[in-house]
Structure 1
Amino acid sequence: MVIPKIPFHEKITNVIAAFILGFILLCFSRYSYYFKSQHFVRLKQLEEKNLEIELLNNQKGEILGFVAHDLRNPLNNIEALSQLMLLEDENNIEAKMIGNSANQAKEIINDLLEAVKSEQGFLETKRQELISFLTPIIARWRTNSKREILFTAEPERIATAINSSKLERVIDNLISNALKFSPANKPIEIALNLHHTNVCIVVKDNGIGIPEDLQKHIFKQFSKAGRKGLQGEKSVGLGLHISKRIIERHKGRLLMQSEENEGTAFTILLPLS
């Protein structure tokens, strides 16, 4: 077998081609190593940032807890003193203002604490019949507000898994808003029914409604959609944000439908269990 002789210039060409190919492979491998190392570094930085955020979030909750505890006691004392002053003179306007301000401050503290709690993932629930759950809440609001609150339920028995204290907070917030933004002579309507595979709770008022440009902000934390009520009631802009988070932790949805000068309806959809 005769091996053909390779000309010298072809040998030089092959050597140069091999050198270039080797150089390209070396560059590619170095780039691949650099890319992987940078990706790894970024992943580690992201993990460290996540841990830092989680730590700060926990610290935020602890700080709010301490602040709430330290503020509640003097606020309770202020409220108690205002009540004593009203026992002596029930027409004491200053005492009423002091008591109302202390009560509003306590509500703000409770909202801030609930905003932190609503970010926690696990929610303990228990199966409960909803008509018997809603009836005393509505009766309490009828007594305290002296307003007409209508309640209808179909069918007669509806049960699902809820955290009763958290859901009561949502219902309280929705009824409070309905009373706040509707005239005293207009009723509040609450309906409980089934919608496909969901339990449906609707709280509807016939009040001033929500302007269209504010509706997209209504569930945001410290929402700029927060407005004073018809009697000058103040809002921090946390109530609906907290309510939405609580319902989402129930694996449900909180929906809103509103028309200015016609009224607003909030609908809670909870999975039927």
Structure 2
Amino acid sequence: MWRSIRIRLVAIQVLLLLFALELIGGYFVSALNQSLLRTETDTVSRQTQLIATLTLPEIVTKQGTSSFPSTQGSTGGTTGANTSSTAQPLLQSFPQLINGVAYVLNKDGVVKDTSAGSALIGQKRIDSLATETLISHKKAVAVHYDTLTGQHLLSVVVPVFSQGHFVGLVESVVSVQSTYATMREVTTIFYTGSGLVLALTAVLSVLLSRAIARPVLDVTKQARKLAAGDFSERVTVHSDDEFGALGTAINDLTDKLQAAIAESQHEQGRLQAVIKYMGDGVIALDKELHYLFSNDAAMRMLPGASTPEFDPAHLLGLERIVQEEKGEWNFVKKLQDSLFNVHVTKIGTRQVQGYVALVRDVTEQEKLQAARRDFVANVSHELKTPLTSMKSYIEVLQEYPDTDEETRKRFLSVIQNETERMVRLTQDLLQLSGLETRQEPFRAGLINVSEWLSTAVNRFNLSAKQQGVTLVSEPYPTVSLRGDRDMLDRLVDNLISNALKYTAREGVVRITAAAESDQLLVSVQDSGIGIPAEDLPHVFERFYTVDKARTRKFGGTGLGLAIAREITERHGGRIAILSELNEGTTVTVSLPTVEVR
């Protein structure tokens, strides 16, 4: 309950008021009571002092009779012969004025006269206050509660001196019950009023605390919503005071925080999108090398990334590497059949907070580099052999200018053949390079398949007859395809030329075509020497030859099937080869057809 600021504000205000009322009211009631009692005491003291001063010195010296009219109506009353004329009216009116009795005692404490009745005259009065005055010869005042009458009594004792000698005293005992009743009434009025004031103060404090606490509660509510990420509401400002300024500041903070979070989320979204769609793998690790997260590329690249036990730090061997006092590490890691370039960066300047690893699959890049190295080596080798041969023949002709005509012609024929082979090699290289780099223009046009294949077959009829090979064709489907006619001619020419080269005399080369759905399947089948099974996966690679001696014999460059594959893929098709050693080879090209309206 005391956690509420409203309860505490009300309690504080009520307690402060109660303390003030008790302090001030207690002082006021006490002072008022003392004032009333002091007034009563002063009145009785004056009456008693007046009696002692004017009459009693003479009365004390007399013996026996009372100077006071009896309150009991006895015959022992005061007579004019026994009293002074000055004191007589006062003595007669004392009981009525003061509502009490008076005693006159000599210095031995014997009652010489009293307004309480003559029966007490001559008796010794046993009274502590009178005894005190008899001893000290000083005035004494006291208030006590009489259990017999149930009243508060005020006693005033005044010493009497005659010619400087103590001769007795006068004691007045007066009821102050009315004074105490007045005091109780004043106290009751005060505490009743205090209670009403406290109740009213409590009500006002509740209202005031509610007004004070409302802005605080609004700010607290808004702060909790801010902590929960809800920026939809604002603090209602009710005043221009400090609470109003606090509410305005909270609203400004909400606006700025909302804008900052929106900007941060926008930047975070952009960063996440960049990381998500990066081609390189990104892996985040904490300072203990525990796996935090990775992007899709890393999940695709690294083996076991989709398993719960995935531990990239161990997989990449980072435990040993990060022990070096460096901020960045770069190394190459081979995993299974893939090669990865790994770049690790430390997060944090003075104290390590984590690591980020950038993983790039360089398998294809390394293969490309290897292919380039092989390409250069192959080109060098393919050029070196004919150039060496040509150089040798030229040197012989230069050294022996008188060589006979037949030998000279034979040497020049070899030089011519090697030159033509280098020209073909150069042309094939330029053609393949243009296809791979897309530098050769693609002149698309509508091609009639039947006319295209028939023309190609006719181009090789004479060559086939000269080689003793039967070239078989059949009616081709009347479909069309869209492509570059020159490229497609080179494609089919390469396939037919290869088939004729590696088919022995009396062999057969068959060119067929079939339309299936939206695809055209063109097959070139020969009955030649075939290709070993272990060489089939490599026949489309540049400069790959099953038998280099055989390739050189037939004037091949090892680039024909590589060119055929590039042309096929350039037209959105596929090429496949089936072969069995000494049984023949079938090359099938699939090309998309178009519907002619």
TM-score scaled to structure 1, two decimals? 0.64
Q: Does the aligned pair in 1 maintain the 2:450–2:476 contact within 8 Å?
A: no
Distance 2:544 2:484 in 1: 25
* Residue aligned with 2:523, SS: strand
Greater relative CO, 1 or 2 (CA 8 Å, sep 6+): 1
- Residues 1:194 and 2:512 aligned together: no
- Residues 1:106 and 2:423 aligned together: yes
Deviation, 1:98, is: 2.8
Give the aligned partner of residue 474 of structure 2.
Answer: 152
Cα distance, 1:250–1:134 mapped onto 2, change above 3 Å: same
Q: Residues 129-177 of structure 1, C-alpha deviation per residue, up to 9 Å, x if partnerless?
A: 022222232222122342421111343x221112111111111111111
Amino acid at match of 1:127: L
Deviation, 1:204, is: 0.9
Give the aligned partner of residue 149 of structure 2.
Answer: none
Give the aligned partner of residue 539 of structure 2.
Answer: 218
Deviates more, 1:138-147 or 1:193-202: 138-147
Q: Does the aligned pair in 2 maintain the 1:151–1:191 contact within 8 Å?
A: yes
Q: Residues 41-83 of structure 1, C-alpha deviation per residue, up to 9 Å, x if partnerless?
A: x99xx9xxx9xx9xxx9xxxxxx9xxxxxxxxxxxxxxxxxxx
| Structural mapping, 1:231-250, within 5 Å | 232-250=553-571
| Structural mapping, 1:22-101, within 5 Å | 30=348, 35=356, 92-101=409-418
Amino acid at match of 1:2: W
Distance 2:353 2:480 in 1: 58
Amino acid at match of 2:490: R
Distance 1:131 1:94 in 2: 45
Cα distance, 1:115–1:231 mapped onto 2, change above 3 Å: closer
Give the aligned partner of residue 168 of structure 1.
Answer: 489
Deviation, 1:243, is: 0.8
Distance 2:455 2:473 in 1: 11
Greater fraction helix: 1
Q: Does the aligned pair in 1 maintain the 2:524–2:587 contact within 8 Å?
A: yes
* Residue aligned with 1:152, SS: coil
Q: Does the aligned pair in 2 maintain the 1:204–1:265 contact within 8 Å?
A: yes
- Residues 1:208 and 2:529 aligned together: yes
Deviation, 1:123, is: 3.2
Deviation, 1:127, is: 1.1
Distance 2:353 2:492 in 1: 57
* Residue aligned with 1:209, SS: coil
Deviation, 1:230, is: 8.2
Deviation, 1:226, is: 5.5
Greater fraction strand: 2
- Residues 1:123 and 2:442 aligned together: yes
How many residues of Structure 1 are paired with residues of Structure 2 in the alignment? 208
* Residue aligned with 2:572, SS: coil
Q: Does the aligned pair in 2 maintain the 1:198–1:271 contact within 8 Å?
A: yes
- Residues 1:143 and 2:478 aligned together: no
* Residue aligned with 1:183, SS: coil
Amino acid at match of 1:189: R
Give the aligned partner of residue 258 of structure 1.
Answer: 579
Unaligned runs of 5+ in 2: 4-285, 293-346, 373-378, 380-404
Percentage of pairs with the same residue:
26
* Residue aligned with 2:473, SS: strand
Amino acid at match of 1:249: R
Give the aligned partner of residue 85 of structure 1.
Answer: none
Q: Does the aligned pair in 1 maintain the 2:545–2:551 contact within 8 Å?
A: no
Distance 1:231 1:179 in 2: 15
Q: Does the aligned pair in 1 maintain the 2:502–2:529 contact within 8 Å?
A: yes
Cα distance, 1:230–1:185 mapped onto 2, change above 3 Å: farther
Deviation, 1:110, is: 0.9
* Residue aligned with 2:503, SS: coil
Distance 2:495 2:509 in 1: 10
Amino acid at match of 1:141: F
Cα distance, 1:228–1:126 mapped onto 2, change above 3 Å: farther
Deviation, 1:221, is: 2.0
Unaligned runs of 5+ in 1: 4-24, 58-63, 65-87
Cα distance, 1:2–1:271 mapped onto 2, change above 3 Å: same
Deviates more, 1:166-175 or 1:231-240: 231-240
Deviation, 1:228, is: 4.1
TM-score scaled to structure 2, two decimals? 0.31
Q: Residues 180-215 of structure 1, C-alpha deviation per residue, up to 9 Å, x if partnerless?
A: 111021121111221232111111110110001111
Deviation, 1:217, is: 0.8
Q: Residues 17-62 of structure 1, C-alpha deviation per residue, up to 9 Å, x if partnerless?
A: xxxxxxxx9x998589974xx76xx99xx9xxx9xx9xxx9xxxxx
Q: Residues 99-143 of structure 1, C-alpha deviation per residue, up to 9 Å, x if partnerless?
A: 322221111001111121111347332111022222232222122
Cα distance, 1:226–1:242 mapped onto 2, change above 3 Å: farther
Deviates more, 1:157-166 or 1:121-130: 121-130
Give the aligned partner of residue 272 of structure 1.
Answer: 593
Deviates more, 1:108-117 or 1:226-235: 226-235
Q: Does the aligned pair in 1 maintain the 2:449–2:476 contact within 8 Å?
A: no
| Aligned structure 1 segments of 4 or more residues deviating by more than 4 angstroms | 27-34
Q: Does the aligned pair in 2 maintain the 1:227–1:234 contact within 8 Å?
A: no
Amino acid at match of 2:2: V
Give the aligned partner of residue 2 of structure 1.
Answer: 2
Cα distance, 1:266–1:110 mapped onto 2, change above 3 Å: same
Q: Does the aligned pair in 2 maintain the 1:225–1:237 contact within 8 Å?
A: no
Amino acid at match of 1:105: M
Distance 2:551 2:429 in 1: 24
Distance 2:544 2:481 in 1: 31
